[in-house]
Amino acid sequence: MSSSKVTIKEVASKAGVSIATVSRYINKSIRLREKNRRKIEKAIEELNYHPLVYARRLAGGKLNTFGLIIPGYEGIFYSFYALKIIREVAVALDEKEIDMHLNIYRNKDIFNSSLVDGVIMADVISNKDQLLRLKKEKVPLVVINRKISDKDISFVAVDNYKGAYEATEFLINHGHKNIVHLAGDLEVQCAKQRVEGFNAALEKNGIKKKGNSICQINFSRAKAREELNKLFSSKEKPTAIFCCSDEVASEVLNFADENSIKVPQSLSVIGFDDNPNLSYRDLMLTTVRQPLDQMAREAVKILRQTIDKKTPPQKVVLEPKLVIRDTVGFLQ
For CA atoms 303, 304, 305, 308, give the dihedral sign.
positive
Q: What does 250-289 look like in DSSP terms, one character per residue?
A: HHHHHHHHHTT--TTTT-EEEEEE--GGGTTSSSPPEEEE
Provide the 3-class DSSP secondary structure of residue 151.
coil
CA angle in degrees (0–180, nearest 5) for 213-287-68: 100
* Total site size for a copy of itself, rule CB under 8 A: 57
Half-sphere exposure at residue 215, Cβ-oriented, CA atoms within 13 angstroms: 24
Assess whether the previous peptide bond of 312 is cis (omega < 30° from 0).
no
Q: Are strands 240-243 and 268-273 parallel, antiparallel or unpaired?
A: parallel
Smallest separation, CB 90 to a copy of itself (Å): 5
Q: Contact letters (x/-) for DNA, 59-98, by CB under 7 A?
A: xxx-------------------------------------
Q: How far apart are CA 145 and CA 133, in angstroms?
A: 19
Stretch that binds a copy of itself, among 94-102, 183-191, 199-207, 317-325 (CB under 8 A): 94-102
* Contact (CB, 8 A) for 330 and 176: no
Report the nearest approach of DNA to the CB of residue 9 (Å): 6
Containing 322, the helix (H) or strand (E) segment is strand 321-323
* Type of residue numbered 249: A
Q: Which does 204 bind (CB under 5 to 8 A by kind): DNA, a copy of itself, none?
A: none
Instruction: Give the span between the Cα atoms of 250 and 246, in whole angstroms.
Output: 6
**If binding means CB under 7 A, how many residues of this protein chain bind DNA?**
29
What is the rounded radius of gyration, in angstroms, for the C-alpha atoms of the chain?
A: 26
Stretch touching a copy of itself by CB under 8 A, among 29-37, 98-106, 163-171, 207-215: 98-106
Tell me the window of 26-34, 153-161, 197-205, 229-237 that interacts with DNA (CB under 7 A).
Answer: 26-34
The minimum distance between CB 308 and DNA, in angstroms, equals 12
Q: Binding of DNA at residue 18 (CB under 7 A)?
A: yes
Q: Which does 99 bind (CB under 5 to 8 A by kind): DNA, a copy of itself, none?
A: a copy of itself
Position among 45, 54, 187, 237 found at the interface with a copy of itself (CB under 8 A): 54
What percent of the residues of the chain are helix, what percent strand, and what percent coil, each to the nearest 5? 45, 15, 40
Stretch of 16-24, 118-126, 208-216, 273-281 lying at the interface with DNA (CB under 7 A): 16-24
Name residues contacting a copy of itself, limited to 250-279 (CB under 8 A). Answer: 251, 254, 258, 276-277
Q: Which of 13, 47, 51, 174 binds DNA (CB under 7 A)?
A: 51
Q: Is 86 in the site for a copy of itself (CB under 8 A)?
A: yes
Q: At closest approach, how far in Å is the CB of 150 from a copy of itself? A: 17
Q: What is the DSSP string of 97-122?
A: T-EEEEEEE-SS----GGG-SEEEEE
Residues in region 195-234 near a copy of itself by CB under 8 A: 221
Q: Do residues 244 and 219 touch, judged by C-beta distance below 8 A? A: yes
182 binds DNA (CB under 7 A): no
Of 248, 257, 314, whose CA–CA distance to 278 is shortest?
248
Q: Of a copy of itself, DNA, none, which one sits near residue 90, judging by CB under 5 to 8 A according to partner kind?
A: a copy of itself
Q: Which residues lie near a copy of itself (CB under 8 A)? A: 1-5, 48, 50-55, 57-58, 63-65, 72, 77-78, 83-84, 86-87, 90-91, 94, 97, 99-104, 106, 108, 110-115, 117, 136-140, 221, 251, 254, 258, 276-277, 280-282
Residues in contact with DNA by CB under 7 A are: 5, 7-9, 16-24, 26-27, 30-33, 35-36, 51-52, 55-56, 58-61
